[in-house]
Structure 1
Amino acid sequence: MSAVGNPILVVVLSLVAGLLVGGVWSSYQRGAPRAVTAVLALLAVMALLFAALTLLEVM
């Protein structure tokens, strides 16, 4: 079974991206090291991009 176009995967990835964006904002506000904030931001962008590509069935 292919995961491409799976609506459950899109929802889960969107939720993960939202949690990661919240983590980025929280770490930025409390003054965490820039590396931690950058890694969280990169993971959030990757999750959101993968969710969008899966939703559009491009992959």
Structure 2
Amino acid sequence: MGAALPTLLLILAGVLVGGAWSLYRQGAPKGVVVITALLAVLATVGGVLWLLPGENA
């Protein structure tokens, strides 16, 4: 599986960033924008950490 999962996480992060920006521009409730942005950050951190060398590399 290699780099497939971190790649998918980073793609998901990009989609979530775009979604958060779109929600913000449309005047969505602040809580929804913040939650979407936080999910984007979590997906980004997960994807990057997965790519870092470690014991399983």
Q: Using structure 2 for the length normalisation, give the TM-score.
A: 0.88
Residue equivalent to 1:50: 46
**Residue type at the aligned position of 1:30:** Q
| Residues matched between the structures, number | 55
- For 1:32, which of 14, 28, 53 is the aligned residue? 28
> 1:3-57 CA distances to partner (integer Å, 9 max, x unpaired)?
8xx3000110011000000000000000000000000000000000000000104
Q: Percent identity?
A: 44
1:31/1:58 CA distance change after superposition, 3 Å: farther
Counterpart code for 1:47: A
Q: CA RMSD in A?
A: 1.7
The letter for the 2-side match of 1:39 is: I
Q: Secondary structure at the match of 1:37?
A: helix
